């Protein structure tokens, strides 16, 4: 088992890289879709193997208790999305939205994106982590523009401009961390090694770390979708192919958040720095309140759920910002469940938009009557994301609000207000889409329900019973986060 660990870690990078090269060369789209699923499955197996046995950290790569959570979640959602994507793209090809050449490109980029995210997650060097996040971001930029419509190009351009500003700020922050570490750890690779940085973080120059964190928060925060920097997110979600919306919400935002958490831990080890949690909690709360209000004005169904992602990332960043074992635990749980639920919602929304031929909420109606399976899986997803019991998100949100009441009653009240406002918006929209007279085309839908049912089943299961090993694991990670 232990002997397999280094191989498993390497295959997390090698599988998507090889698959991307193969997919770029493979002409048939059915075979490509299958290969895409197979490669994602291999990545998941590798991640699961690492759960049991971990290789020793090297200067460049590291698998520890924190990133294994992200790795497993990432490769699981990557796999289910590739299954969904296989049934989604067939329809896009039939309707002529995408050509065969586009699809070849699409599959190759999908694996490039998975490669970027895996690289960011297992990097021990903060420079390499930056490279991974940026590779993943830029590959999604290309994917968002793939339909080449007026709107898709505008969305991709906006994403590119804001994303590149984020890239620049995050790299500058990384350079500043290196500058702070160089006098302590010596020039070169060691001064970028996260494990060494954390061990010696008390000796680093606090003022420089403070400034570095501000840049990193703004840079990676752009990708998390925190509010003053969120403008790219709704457009990118609405105009790209739906599997990409699912991956953006479910995975990419988490990866950027992971990068932020690494630096938060770094700052926490230094006595002289400001508390990074305060900044994070403030930005998180702002995101929740802003996104909750914006939910009411949405007319496009994918845009609606994009704003809901901003809201949830806000909740998660707020929880990690508050810190402490309980809030961190709730934040981790919320993050996991949000990824699963939001991608399940996008799976349903993708098929809905295909069968109705539109993303406008006003033109979709009575989905539970015309397409019961599709409609009810959307209802279940929205109920879960809005925080209704028995779904797991109810529990994690309840934990976050109740733990913060003890420490900041006003903050907790504001957060609860944001949650309620968002709850109202989501349920009003859901009622018009899912119930009532069917509106729009009612033709049959060729959908794969397995990914969405698997996700929702897990979210429901988490709400009813959390297995003790999982709780112990998350509690351990929460303690690491400080």
Partner 1 sequence: MTLPPLDTAHMLAGGLVLVSFMMLYQDRLSALINLLALHALVLSLAVAWQAWIQDAPELIITAVTALGFKAIAIPLALQRMIKRLGIHREIEPVVGISATMLAGIGLVALALVVMLRTTASAAPLAREDIALALSVILLGMLIMVTRRNAVSQVAGFMSLENGLVLAATGAQGMPLVVEISVAFSILIAFIVIGIFLFRIRERFDTVEVQALDQFRGDRR
Q: Which residues bind partner 1 (CB under 8 A)?
A: 125, 127-128, 131, 138, 141-142, 145, 148, 150-151, 153-154, 156-157, 160-161, 164-165, 168, 171-172, 175-176, 178-180, 182-183, 187-189, 191-192, 205, 207-208, 210-211, 234-235, 238-239, 297-300, 303, 359-360
- Of the two residues 240 and 451, which places its CB atom closer to partner 1 in the complex? 240
- The residues, any chain, with a CB within 8 Å of residue 347's CB and separated by 6 or more, are 80, 81, 84, 242, 246, 377, 451, 452, 455
Least CB distance from residue 460 to partner 1, whole Å? 32
Nearer to partner 1, 232 or 474 (CB): 232
Q: Where do we find the tokens 């929702």?
A: 456
Indicate the residue among 167 and 434 with the shorter CB distance to partner 1.
167
Nearer to partner 1, 31 or 151 (CB): 151
Least distance in angstroms from the C-beta of 51 to partner 1: 29
The nearer residue to partner 1, 383 or 422, going by C-beta atoms, is 422
From the CB of 384, what's the least distance to partner 1, in Å? 25
Measure the CA–CA gap between 342 and 46, rounded to whole angstroms: 24
DSSP string, 316-378: HHHHHHH-SHHHHHHHHHHHHHHHHHHHHHHHHHHHHHHHHT--BGGG-B-HHHHSHHHHHHH
Closer Cβ to partner 1, 165 or 198, answer by number: 165
At closest approach, how far in Å is the CB of 471 from partner 1?
A: 39
Give the nearer residue to partner 1 in terms of CB position, either 224 or 294.
Answer: 294
Four-residue CA torsion sign, 280, 166, 250, 242: positive
Residue holding tokens 């403070």?
Answer: 210
For the bound state, the minimum distance from the C-beta of residue 160 to partner 1, rounded and expressed in Å, comes to: 7
Q: CA distances (Å), 341 to each of 145, 230, 333, 437, 448, in order? A: 25, 21, 12, 26, 16
Shortest Å distance, C-beta 48 to partner 1 = 30
Our CB check for partner 1 shows the closer of 148 and 446 to be 148
Minimum CB–partner distance for residue 432 and partner 1 (Å): 16
Phi, psi of 67 (to 5 degrees): -80, -15
- Would you give the end-to-end CA distance of the chain in angstroms? 31
The nearer residue to partner 1, 163 or 463, going by C-beta atoms, is: 163
Give the shortest CB-354-to-partner 1 separation in angstroms. Answer: 17
- In angstroms, how far is CA 159 from the centroid of its own chain? 16
Radius of gyration of the chain (CA): 21
Q: Which is nearer to partner 1, 156 or 400 (CB)?
A: 156
- Coil vs helix vs strand at 210: helix
Task: Report which of 286, 440, 474 is spatially closest to residue 363, judged by C-alpha positions.
Answer: 440
Least distance to partner 1, CB of residue 192, Å? 6
Nearer to partner 1, 42 or 176 (CB): 176
User: Is the Cβ–Cβ distance between 77 and 110 less than 8 Å?
Assistant: no
Contact of 482 with 323, CB cutoff 8 Å: yes
Give the contacts of 45 (CB within 8 A, at least 6 positions apart).
Answer: none
CA separation (Å) from 26 to 13, 37, 106, 214, 330?
20, 14, 12, 44, 43
- Is residue 317 within 8 Å of 282, Cβ to Cβ? no
Least Å distance, CB 433 to partner 1, is 16
Please report how close the Cβ of residue 124 comes to partner 1 at its closest, in angstroms. Answer: 12
CB of 453 to partner 1, least distance (A): 29
Q: Which is nearer to partner 1, 163 or 451 (CB)?
A: 163
158 Cβ contact list (under 8 Å, min separation 6): 231, 232, 235, 236
E strands in 163-307: none
């Amino acid at each position: 088992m232990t002997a397999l660990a280094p191989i498993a870690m390497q295959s997390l990078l090698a599988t998507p890289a090889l698959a991307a090269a193969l997919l770029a060369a493979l002409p048939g789209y059915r075979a490509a879709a299958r290969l895409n699923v197979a490669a994602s499955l291999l990545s998941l197996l590798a991640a699961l193997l690492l759960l049991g046995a971990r290789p020793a950290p090297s200067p460049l790569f590291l698998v520890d208790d924190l990133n294994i959570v992200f790795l497993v979640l990432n490769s699981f959602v990557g796999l289910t999305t590739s299954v969904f994507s296989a049934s989604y793209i067939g329809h896009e090809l039939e309707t002529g939205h995408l050509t065969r050449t586009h699809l070849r490109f699409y599959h190759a980029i999908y694996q490039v994106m998975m490669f970027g995210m895996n690289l960011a997650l297992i990097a021990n060097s903060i420079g390499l982590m930056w490279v991974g996040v940026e590779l993943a971001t830029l590959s999604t930029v290309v994917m968002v523009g793939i339909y080449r419509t007026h709107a898709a190009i505008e969305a991709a351009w906006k994403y590119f401009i804001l994303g590149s500003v984020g890239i620049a700020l995050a790299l500058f922050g990384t350079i500043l961390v290196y500058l702070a570490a160089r006098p302590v750890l010596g020039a070169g690779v060691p001064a970028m090694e996260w494990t060494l940085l954390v061990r010696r973080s008390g000796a680093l120059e606090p003022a420089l770390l403070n400034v570095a964190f501000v840049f990193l928060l703004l840079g990676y925060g752009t990708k998390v979708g925190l509010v003053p920097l969120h403008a790219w997110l709704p457009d990118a979600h609405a105009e790209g192919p739906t599997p990409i919306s699912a991956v953006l919400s479910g995975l990419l935002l988490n990866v950027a958040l992971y990068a932020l958490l690494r630096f938060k831990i770094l700052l926490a080890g230094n006595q002289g720095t400001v508390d990074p949690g305060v900044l994070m909690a403030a930005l998180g709360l702002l995101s929740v309140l802003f996104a909750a209000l914006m939910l009411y004005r949405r007319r496009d169904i994918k845009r609606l759920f994009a704003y809901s992602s901003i809201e949830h990332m806000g909740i998660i960043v707020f929880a990690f910002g508050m810190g402490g074992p309980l809030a961190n635990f709730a934040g981790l749980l919320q993050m996991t469940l949000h990824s699963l639920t939001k991608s399940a919602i996008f799976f349903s929304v993708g098929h809905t938009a295909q069968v109705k031929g539109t993303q406008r909420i006003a033109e979709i109606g009575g989905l539970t009557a015309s397409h019961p399976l599709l409609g009810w899986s959307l209802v279940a997803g929205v109920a879960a994301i809005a925080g209704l019991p028995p779904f797991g998100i109810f529990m994690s949100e309840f934990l976050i609000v109740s733990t913060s009441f003890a420490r900041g009653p006003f903050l907790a009240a504001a957060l609860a207000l944001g949650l309620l406002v968002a709850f109202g918006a989501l349920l009003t929209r859901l009622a018009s889409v899912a119930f009532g007279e069917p509106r729009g085309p009612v033709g049959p839908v060729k959908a794969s329900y397995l990914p969405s049912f698997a996700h929702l089943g897990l979210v429901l299961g988490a709400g009813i019973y959390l297995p003790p090993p999982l709780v112990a694991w998350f509690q351990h990670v929460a303690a690491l986060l400080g």
